[in-house]
Structure 1
Amino acid sequence: MIAIHNKFWGIFMGALLLSSCYKDLGTGPEDYQEINEIKIDGIERQYALDMDDSLKISPKLEGTLYSDTSRFNYLWEIDSKKVGQSAELATVIKLLPGNKVSRFIVEDKETKVKSYFRFEVNVSSSTAGDLIMVLSKSNGKAEISYLRLDKPSNWVVNYYESRFGKPLGTNPQRLNFLMLEATLPVEETNNAPFANRNGRVLVLVDNQLALIDKGTLEPNVVPYLEADAFTRTAYYPKPDTEGYKPEFMASAIYTWRKNPYGSGIQQMENFQLISGGALYYGSLSSYNWTPSFAYNGKSAYGRSNYFSPFGYYHTMTPTVDKGTMFNHSYDLGDFIVFDRTVGRFSYSNSGISRQIPTTDVKAFPGYDLIYGSPTSQSGTSYAVLKSSSSSLRFLLLGKAGTKYSLTGEVSGGVATEESKFYNMKTSPYVVFTAGNKLYKYNVLDIGSGTVPGTGHEVLSLSSLGYDNEAKITSMSVSRSEGTLLLGVSRYGADNEGSGTELKGDVLRFDLDRTTLRLNLKEKYEGISGIPVDVKVKYQTNFRDGRSDGGVTLIDNI
């Protein structure tokens, strides 16, 4: 008992000694410092935003001792990334879709005590709709900019490398789109990698065909369309795709209608590719049917010959509606190609070219096909050839039954090898660019020998305030033919789009498709490098931009 008593007595004395030590260190009530506890209001627990939307948050701070905002440090984080260091947040969401854990941190400068407010940012795709897209060259690299058309928005400038951490390429060449939407997951559909559930953006860059999701603008898991995609139905002999090098692509809807055998929309699309001077072809469908393909189709004039990097459908006649079953498709004619080795036109079906006798259409040795299109005149197409000396010729090709003919030809006049063309569907006019000017020319004047000249000018960039260094580098017309877009470069002789200041512009005009009068509606300045191609990306197909069997105009540009 005495031993136990002494033990407890020792513990009691030790506690008194320890208490005395703390007191001696100056920790009495008069030495305690009250902490300024911060209450944070004005921040939602969750924000639902699209990619490239602006996010603005103005929190309210209330301290138990003081609320002077100058006495604090601030940090905003979204998805573990620092996005702001001020009391208010103003940022643009440059993140891929998904739920992003975020927080606002307030630090007292004097005490270094931190307060936290956690919230979430749910990011959705801002690109699953209609966009104006610009493929450009910026500081020696291929880049893409875009503008949403579903609501008032700012341009998203040169998004690709900053968003995905790698460049698209160095030599941008052409934009195109596949409207087809696969009804099964990509890995289960016979159309992969041509199409997925959102459709496809196709970017020709460095003679490779980059595959981008049309809904999210993300690169595909399979980054490029390779030759073996066209050989999947070939078993014997072993497919020969030697020389595969994509140079030109074209797509066309040939069935887009309510499925007569069930629900949904029946979608079928042709895809043409000129690669390494040969023809590649795909007939694609949204259903799990076996598509048909052709590959490495050589010229009918010689297997060692080489097709020009351009082709076009001679006719594209709108499909007739049948009762309440609206069609948004075309009866497609032959696909016209040009053998640059011998200077002769030929026509193809399903990737197989066939000869056109020189007694019907003469040869043009030393020329390349650089543009072509069906015209508003039934059975007639318009083509532009470029000679080795860079002079141009405008041609009209006719067709009666299965026989082609050359119905007229003239010099290209003021047009140049860098000119861009668009042939109107609803009138016999072609609009084309040359330097800093835009021209319109009646293709029926080819028959009378009229050469396009200065009298055909409809627009000069100088009238819009541009200096002599500015030039038109790309052009497109909307599917309703109510809008004309021009890509303008202010880089002068700089062919790489160098410098920190972007000098690529887009001009948007209202176009009267009857008179071809233009009314400038918007001048988008500094939104890209040198515009190589500018187009409207439509998320859903409607022939001529009209729904309800061609009744309701839905283009929103």
Structure 2
Amino acid sequence: MKKIITFLYLLILAYACYDDKGNYDYREINQISIQNIDSLVLCDQMDLLSIPVTLEGTQYSDSNRFTYMWEVNQKVVATTKDLNVYANFPLGINTARFVVTDKELGTKAFKNFRINVSSSTAGDGILVLSKYQGHAELSFKRLDREGSTFTPNYYEALTGNRLGTNPRKIHRCYIPEAANVNSGLKIETDQRLKCLSEETLVEIGENKYLDHNFFISRAMTLPPDITEFDVKACWHLTTSATTTSLGGYIFVIANDELWHDQRMAMPAYNVDLNMTFMQKASPWHGQLSPVMFLASLTGSGTQNYSSPELLYLFDESEGQFIYANVNSSAANRACSELGIYAGYSLLYGTHTASPNQAVAVLGNGSVYRMLYLKLPSKTSETAAVPFTVLADVIVPGEVINSGTSYYPMKNESYMFFATDNGLYRYNLRDLENGNAPGSQNRIMTLTDFGYNADDKITCMTVSRTEQEILLGISRYGEDTEGMGEELKGDVLVLDLKTMNMIRKYEGVAGYPVDLMVKYQKFLRDGKENGVDVSDVLYF
């Protein structure tokens, strides 16, 4: 009986399957094959990573019928068929995958691969410090490879952190220290000095800053408790950086006081010495301008500079120049012989190609004065070289103002400066005759290179061979915060002698604040041993 029931059950089941055979619509799934992605992709950090993809389907491979997603380290970096992104990924191996989804069926195809990222930042390059959407950012272009492109705003993309909100300057130190505790780049932002590696362009360690603790750890005496360290200005001066001798200074104006450290090292003999002095205020303890300069900076041999002694500053509260002896703990002294400039700030100061002759620019918001000064560079010269104002001229505000950038030639009496949309070349000898800079000294305007009249040169630098001049240009108009999504900060590279354009990089930064040619090796004039120009820079 049991066998009969089982037989009848199987018979009914077979009939049901036969009767329902035509009720299902069987459809073959389009199977996608992803081609042209290697299992290991090699690239340099910050370079443009391009991976063109070929799709092959068993039924169709029309790219419009799919959506795409590229992931690196479990983060979506692109949603296009082909990958074209800047490799702002950590150095070393990064896990990645490419996902293709059929819009109609929802089926997916995957390609897992790895990206091995190498450093592209250890060589020579251009750094642009800018303000983008209200915060500080950095852009970079390598100069050691032809055809390389700018990596705009790499810092936050690479680190996940903000650089700051009030960027001012980039500083370069060529003297390495143990464990690189005082790393080779300083970014002046938010009244602080953020330390970055000159090789990776990011921090060595988390939130590394050069502050009063750096000076205190190197000083022979301890100051009273310090609760803040508000940086107004910084200057790294390298005097030698050869295989046998390292020497240099770091000067910082913070809390309206001068802090400075001199380092002298001979690695082959395990010699490493420093002199550190702190909290050297004005004789009147007034407010210091964020500027410092020397009376002379002379070359020594084929590669080095002679060590300086007297550093000049300006007390805004008293309207007077002062000087500090950077090789001693002696108190800062007044230069009363240079006069009183009540209500003025020191906007710029520099030594010139002529020993013991310096230029200072003062401003009070409406009037701008250029002073040509004769100054001692050492205490032993104070009798023979008295403090003297050789010239004092009023400069029109449209020629020089608080936003002007400057560069004095190293071996000539000329100075370049940029104001608003114009670049000027001025012979400092004209100061001796009382001839102020004016429109007759303008050698180019941005309109010569296709810019609008309201575009501005916001910063500039010159290559160490003095063959090229680099201009940071803003197309933001009156917006100094770099708001909006579009990058409107450009870099224009010109031949310094002919003013012919070498390269124009558009949309590579926010509002440019400072730019630098980051050299990996210190060469005073870009010459190896002072003989042959060794710089090969692919602008």
Could you state the TM-score of these two structures normalised by the residue count of structure 1?
0.82
Q: Which residue of 1 aligns with 2:96?
A: 102
Does residue 417 (structure 1) correspond to residue 397 (structure 2)? The answer is no
Q: Which residue of 2 aligns with 1:219?
A: 203
Does residue 143 (structure 1) correspond to residue 137 (structure 2)? The answer is yes
**Residues 408 and 82 of structure 1, relative CA distance in 2, 3 Å threshold:** same
Q: Which residue of 2 aligns with 1:160?
A: 155
Does residue 396 (structure 1) correspond to residue 378 (structure 2)? The answer is no
**Residues 294 and 70 of structure 1, relative CA distance in 2, 3 Å threshold:** same
Contact (CA 8 Å) 1:431, 1:441: kept in 2 or not? Answer: yes
Which of 319, 334, 347 is residue 310 of structure 2 equivalent to? 334
**Residues 111 and 496 of structure 1, relative CA distance in 2, 3 Å threshold:** closer
- Separation in 2, partners of 1:226, 1:349: 19
Please give the secondary structure, in 1, of the residue aligned with 2:525: helix
Please give the secondary structure, in 2, of the residue aligned with 1:219: coil
Contact (CA 8 Å) 2:216, 2:223: kept in 1 or not? Answer: no
- Separation in 2, partners of 1:347, 1:407: 19
Q: Which residue of 2 aligns with 1:426?
A: 411
Does residue 81 (structure 1) correspond to residue 72 (structure 2)? The answer is no
Return 398-407 or 485-494, whichever deviates more: 398-407
- Separation in 1, partners of 2:32, 2:452: 57
- AA in 2 matched with 1:455: Q
- Separation in 2, partners of 1:141, 1:367: 29
> Which residues of 2 match residues 469-548 of structure 1 at below 5 A?
469-512=454-497, 517-548=498-529
- Separation in 2, partners of 1:16, 1:273: 99
Deviations 1:412-466 (A, max 9, x none): 4232232222111121011222332222222122222222222222222233333
Contact (CA 8 Å) 1:51, 1:94: kept in 2 or not? Answer: yes
Contact (CA 8 Å) 2:129, 2:515: kept in 1 or not? Answer: yes
- Separation in 1, partners of 2:234, 2:11: 86
Deviations 1:480-532 (A, max 9, x none): 111112222233333333333333222211112xxxx4222223233222222
Return 289-298 or 209-218, whichever deviates more: 289-298
Return 145-154 or 420-429, whichever deviates more: 145-154
Deviations 1:219-257 (A, max 9, x none): 342332221111013465554546521000111112212
Deviation for aligned residue 1:122:
0.6
Deviation for aligned residue 1:211:
1.7
- Separation in 2, partners of 1:233, 1:282: 8
**Residues 242 and 447 of structure 1, relative CA distance in 2, 3 Å threshold:** farther
- Separation in 1, partners of 2:7, 2:106: 33
Please give the secondary structure, in 2, of the residue aligned with 1:185: helix
- AA in 1 matched with 2:392: V
> Which residues of 2 match residues 302-341 of structure 1 at below 5 A?
302=284, 304-321=285-302, 327-341=303-317
Q: Which residue of 2 aligns with 1:457?
A: 442
- AA in 2 matched with 1:173: R
**Residues 295 and 241 of structure 1, relative CA distance in 2, 3 Å threshold:** farther
- Separation in 2, partners of 1:138, 1:277: 29
Q: Which residue of 2 aligns with 1:281?
A: 260
**Residues 42 and 510 of structure 1, relative CA distance in 2, 3 Å threshold:** same
Does residue 379 (structure 1) correspond to residue 350 (structure 2)? The answer is no
Which of 167, 172, 177 is residue 167 of structure 2 equivalent to? 172
Does residue 267 (structure 1) correspond to residue 246 (structure 2)? The answer is yes
- Separation in 1, partners of 2:87, 2:274: 39
Deviation for aligned residue 1:274:
0.7
When the two chains are superposed, the root-mean-square deviation of aligned CA atoms in Å is: 3.4
- AA in 2 matched with 1:154: T
- AA in 2 matched with 1:281: H
Q: Which residue of 1 aligns with 2:532?
A: 551
Return 104-113 or 536-545, whichever deviates more: 104-113
- Separation in 2, partners of 1:105, 1:291: 57
Deviation for aligned residue 1:270:
0.9
Deviation for aligned residue 1:87:
4.5
Contact (CA 8 Å) 2:309, 2:325: kept in 1 or not? Answer: no
Contact (CA 8 Å) 1:255, 1:269: kept in 2 or not? Answer: yes
Q: Which residue of 2 aligns with 1:344?
A: 321
- Separation in 1, partners of 2:35, 2:369: 68
Which of 186, 205, 230 is residue 245 of structure 1 equivalent to? 230
Q: Which residue of 2 aligns with 1:3?
A: none
Deviation for aligned residue 1:69:
5.8
Q: Which residue of 2 aligns with 1:206?
A: 190
**Residues 237 and 247 of structure 1, relative CA distance in 2, 3 Å threshold:** closer
Does residue 408 (structure 1) correspond to residue 379 (structure 2)? The answer is no
- Separation in 1, partners of 2:14, 2:55: 36
Deviation for aligned residue 1:384:
2.0
Contact (CA 8 Å) 2:52, 2:82: kept in 1 or not? Answer: yes
**Residues 64 and 368 of structure 1, relative CA distance in 2, 3 Å threshold:** closer
Contact (CA 8 Å) 2:367, 2:394: kept in 1 or not? Answer: no
**Residues 95 and 16 of structure 1, relative CA distance in 2, 3 Å threshold:** farther
Contact (CA 8 Å) 2:140, 2:152: kept in 1 or not? Answer: yes
Deviation for aligned residue 1:32:
8.6
- AA in 1 matched with 2:190: D
Return 307-316 or 89-98, whichever deviates more: 89-98
Contact (CA 8 Å) 1:407, 1:447: kept in 2 or not? Answer: no
Contact (CA 8 Å) 2:46, 2:154: kept in 1 or not? Answer: no
Deviation for aligned residue 1:213:
1.9
- Separation in 1, partners of 2:57, 2:218: 71
**Residues 125 and 14 of structure 1, relative CA distance in 2, 3 Å threshold:** farther
- Separation in 1, partners of 2:363, 2:59: 80
**Residues 495 and 59 of structure 1, relative CA distance in 2, 3 Å threshold:** closer
Could you state the TM-score of these two structures normalised by the residue count of structure 2?
0.85
Consecutive unaligned residues of structure 1, counting only runs of 5 or more, are 1-8, 187-191, 260-265, 322-326
Return 130-139 or 109-118, whichever deviates more: 109-118
**Residues 369 and 16 of structure 1, relative CA distance in 2, 3 Å threshold:** farther
- Separation in 2, partners of 1:296, 1:92: 44
Contact (CA 8 Å) 2:365, 2:402: kept in 1 or not? Answer: no
Q: Which residue of 2 aligns with 1:90?
A: 84
Which of 126, 129, 135 is residue 123 of structure 2 equivalent to? 129
Please give the secondary structure, in 2, of the residue aligned with 1:232: helix
- AA in 2 matched with 1:314: A
**Residues 112 and 370 of structure 1, relative CA distance in 2, 3 Å threshold:** closer
- Separation in 2, partners of 1:74, 1:434: 48
- Separation in 1, partners of 2:336, 2:61: 91
